[in-house]
């Protein structure tokens, strides 16, 4: 698997892993807004979005409107955008949905990231104005992504693809067993027809019972026709079948059944959980790109 996290230059992380795993890192910023973009990554993509939202900000400022202040809470669970006083969550951007993050090298206040919306599946570019700590916020998001990716692998996320492959193999085995059974039935039908033909062509009065034919190992071939049961009957009816012994399914402390690689199928996970695992795997596979770039000067470097 390719690296899930990439950046132009190696930088020292800003926080301890415990701070992002067990708590969150808060930042105050002004929220310029979000706008839909066509691509999940790219300097040119976010540059156009920043220009668009900066222009909208200047119009609102000329009309006397203030740019709303927000609080960012960054952890391995995502980037939350809250109203500072009421702590109401306005946006909750999960890290596996964030694909690109950049800060402005000429304007230390501006930073942005691209996140795939959970409802519309559209790529949205979020733009913020912080107090000269845009690079620190960008690195914090990068560190949180890196930790979240590692935690996903440690918690079994790396087995998602393996489980899919096992499920596919189990389905193939079932198909082969069904095909094998159909072929056996055809062979038995042909053998029955051959015996009938032999009996009908033998001279009258010379019909003698024949023992069942055997294979090269002197074994009687399998027959789907059930033989009379030696179990005593009552009033000509068969006794009810003996119920199979039920075994208690062991569960873990969360009440979930343990994963069995030899009994893996579509029902192992509810569809919503399986789709969530697949989504997280794809998001982390795509990775997060951190970029320090210039948003407001020309000529501009469009390299990603």
Among 34-38, 181-185, 237-241, the range scoring the smallest mean pLDDT is 237-241
pLDDT tens-digit profile of 191-210?
Answer: 888 888 887 776 655 555 55
Measured distance CA(78)–CA(96) in Å, rounded: 8
What is the pLDDT, as a whole number, of residue 151?
Answer: 87
Is 15-154 a CATH 3.30.1330.60 domain? no
What is the pLDDT, as a whole number, of residue 162?
Answer: 61
Here the contacts of 148-151 (C-beta below 8 Å, separation 24 or greater) are: 148/76, 148/77, 148/95, 148/96, 148/284, 149/4, 149/5, 149/95, 149/284, 151/21, 151/76
Measure CA of the first residue to CA of the last residue in the chain; give whole Å. Answer: 21
Let me know: does 210 contact 191? Beta carbons within 8 Å: no
pTM: 0.56
User: Which pair of tokens denotes residue 3?
Assistant: 């690296």
Coil, strand or helix: which one is 217?
coil
User: Which pair of tokens denotes residue 173?
Assistant: 């085995």
Measured distance CA(197)–CA(179) in Å, rounded: 27
What is the pLDDT, as a whole number, of residue 297?
Answer: 38
DSSP letters spanning 236-252: TBPPPPPPPPP-PPP--
pLDDT tens-digit profile of 110-137?
Answer: 999 999 998 898 999 999 999 878 999 9
- In the chain, the percentage of residues whose pLDDT exceeds 70 is 62
User: Which pair of tokens denotes residue 80?
Assistant: 């939350």
């Amino acid at each position: 698997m390719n690296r899930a996290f990439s950046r132009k230059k190696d930088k020292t992380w800003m926080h301890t892993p415990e701070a992002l795993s067990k708590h969150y890192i808060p930042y105050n910023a002004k929220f310029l807004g979000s706008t839909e973009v066509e691509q999940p990554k790219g300097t040119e993509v976010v540059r156009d979005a920043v220009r668009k939202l900066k222009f909208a900000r200047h119009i609102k400022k000329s009309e006397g409107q203030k740019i709303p202040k927000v609080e960012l809470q960054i952890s391995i669970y995502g980037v939350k955008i809250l109203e500072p006083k009421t702590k109401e969550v306005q946006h909750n951007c999960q890290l596996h949905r964030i694909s690109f993050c950049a800060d402005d090298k000429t304007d230390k206040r501006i930073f942005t990231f691209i996140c795939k919306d959970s409802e519309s599946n559209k790529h949205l570019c979020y733009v913020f104005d912080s107090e000269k700590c845009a690079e620190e916020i960008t690195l914090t998001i990068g560190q949180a992504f890196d930790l979240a990716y590692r935690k996903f692998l440690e918690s079994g996320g790396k087995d998602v693809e393996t489980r899919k492959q096992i499920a596919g193999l189990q389905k193939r085995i079932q198909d082969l067993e069904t095909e094998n059974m159909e072929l056996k039935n055809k062979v038995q039908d042909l053998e029955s027809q051959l015996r009938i033909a032999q009996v009908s062509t033998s001279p009258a009065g010379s019909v003698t019972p024949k023992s069942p034919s055997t294979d090269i190992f002197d074994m009687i071939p399998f027959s789907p026709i059930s033989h009379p049961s030696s179990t005593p009957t009552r009033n000509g009816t068969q006794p009810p079948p003996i119920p199979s012994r039920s075994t208690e399914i062991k569960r873990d402390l969360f009440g979930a059944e343990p994963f069995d690689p030899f009994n893996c199928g579509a029902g192992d996970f509810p569809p919503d959980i399986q789709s969530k695992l697949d989504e997280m795997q794809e998001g982390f596979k795509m990775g997060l790109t951190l970029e320090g770039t210039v948003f407001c000067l020309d000529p501009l470097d469009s390299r990603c």
